[in-house]
Amino acid sequence: MTTPWLTFIGIGEDGREGLSPLAQRLIDQASFIMGGVRHLSLIGPVKGEAKSWPHPFEDGIKEIIARRGQETVVIASGDPFLYGVGATLSHHIEAEEMLVIPAPSAFSLMASRVGWALQECAQLTLHGRPLEKIIPHLQPHARLLALSWDGETPNKLAALLVERGMGESVLHIGEALGGPREKRHRLIAQDLHTTPKQFDPLNTIGLEIVAGRNARIIPLAAGLDETWFDHDNQITKREVRAITLSSLQPHQGALLWDIGAGSGSVSIEWMLCHPANRAIAIEVRPDRAQRITRNALSFGLPELLVIEDEAPDALKDLPQPDAIFIGGGGTDPRVIDTALAALKTGGRLVVNAVTIETQADVMKRHVEQGGTLIKIDIARADPVGPFHGWRASMPVIQWTFVKDHVS
């Protein structure tokens, strides 16, 4: 059995006073301690060598790994494995090599201050991340716990809430929770937006969403209305998109290639299915590529990777996908061939064919290779004088193929 050599000790704003006897003893016995400047000041004088994290941060990671087998202590805020350095180091060091003594996390402290059940709250960090990351979580009556980036984060969040029609939402701001400098505030988003305040950079937000009548809330079902997207009519229509997502069958952590992405609507809905989902949107036109990036940010999905190039050349050296959608560019048979070759075993290819030429190609492939072929006909009621009639959209032939062998 491996003997732990690396000890993580979580510390709160109450410093040594809040540490267990075991944690204090390990700090006193340690020959080497690494932590942030604030963390080292919280534990006070030590017998061993104490060093603050260097810049860049990765150099500190390398230094700790180089000490493998030597007794080493890392001091971190609260729970080192909740958006902390523990999770980072676990990519390099086995769990059996570690001893972890966590303190209450900022989320636990905030939930206890406002009386919320922690398991019923969405928990995320805005530290070092775009504020828009919170957007998918803005659902009616939701309770969120968020780590701030700095003292301006609550003000920026209030502005975002007002902009999205949620100005009556309540922000609970906890500054320096758990220590002698602790302060708490209960503020309405609209009021904070009107009169911004300055907060301690070390603050945590508890957010209660109150959605106004016209609030911009992202529906949880597939097939968002086209008005949600900035587009030039190069967009997979709502009903067809819902069927397409069903055919693609997203699952947690899966990667999608969206070839001929247009407005990025399929990539965006794929990523909305789960926070761990990833997508690469390939679009040859610069204006559309820029539009995809803007659309993704408006949904709180800045991680959507947009490649401005033409398939199949654009597909070289990309990470292997779990699923591929071809909504544009399918008129070149090489695109489908390249996609099939790149797809993981068990992965799914979905091609939506609108032109007669692409429809002929996918029908031929269905005969030769199998899969599922469906025809999607959508008609919408449109005014005809004082009455209404059905106006048909162009039919879409959809070919779905599951790769069950190595090409």
Task: Please count the structural domains in the chain.
Answer: 3
Asked if 292 and 267 count as a contact pair (C-beta separation under 8 A), the reply is: yes
How do residues 228-244 score in pLDDT, each as one tens digit?
Answer: 999 999 899 999 999 99
Residues 234, 281, single domain; the answer is yes
d(C-alpha 194, C-alpha 217), whole Å = 22
Q: What is the CATH number of the domain that holds 30?
A: 3.40.1010.10
- Of the candidates 103, 134, 169, which is a domain's last residue? 103
How do residues 338-358 score in pLDDT, each as one tens digit?
Answer: 999 999 999 999 999 999 999
Q: Is residue 407 part of a domain?
A: no
Predicted pLDDT at 332: 85
Mean pLDDT of the chain: 95
- Of the candidates 103, 137, 165, which is a domain's last residue? 103
Residues 133, 275, single domain; the answer is no
Residues 114, 72, single domain; the answer is no
- Mean pLDDT in residue range 137-163: 98
Q: Is residue 250 part of a domain?
A: yes
Q: Is residue 163 part of a domain?
A: yes
Residues 363, 263, single domain; the answer is yes
Residues 77, 168, single domain; the answer is no
How do residues 13-52 score in pLDDT, each as one tens digit?
Answer: 999 999 999 999 999 999 999 999 999 999 999 999 999 9
Q: What is the CATH number of the domain that holds 121?
A: 3.30.950.10
How do residues 91-115 score in pLDDT, each as one tens digit?
Answer: 999 999 999 999 999 999 999 999 9
Q: Is residue 96 part of a domain?
A: yes
Residues 166, 304, single domain; the answer is no
Asked if 323 and 249 count as a contact pair (C-beta separation under 8 A), the reply is: yes
Residues 96, 169, single domain; the answer is no
Instruction: Find the domain containing 57 and state its range.
Output: 6-103
Residues 245, 372, single domain; the answer is yes
Q: Is residue 302 part of a domain?
A: yes
Residues 201, 76, single domain; the answer is no
How do residues 280-292 score in pLDDT, each as one tens digit?
Answer: 999 999 999 999 9
Q: Which residue from 13, 230, 41 is spatially nearest to 105, judged by alpha carbons?
A: 13
Helix (H, G, I), strand (E, B) or coil at 369: helix
- Of the candidates 88, 103, 118, which is a domain's last residue? 103
Asked if 172 and 126 count as a contact pair (C-beta separation under 8 A), the reply is: no
Residues 54, 167, single domain; the answer is no
Predicted pLDDT at 407: 42
Position 316 confidence tier, pLDDT thresholds 50, 70, 90? very high
Predicted pLDDT at 331: 74
- Interhelix angle for 238-248 vs 265-272, to 10°? 50
Kindly state the DSSP code that residue 129 receives in the 8-state scheme: S
Q: Is residue 306 part of a domain?
A: yes
> Residue 22 carries which side chain, given as an amino acid letter?
L
Residues 269, 241, single domain; the answer is yes
Three-state SS sequence of 271-330: HHCCCCCEEEEECCCHHHHHHHHHHHHHCCCCCCEEECCCCCHHHCCCCCCCEEEECCCC
Residues 188, 250, single domain; the answer is no
Q: Is residue 76 part of a domain?
A: yes
Q: Is residue 217 part of a domain?
A: no
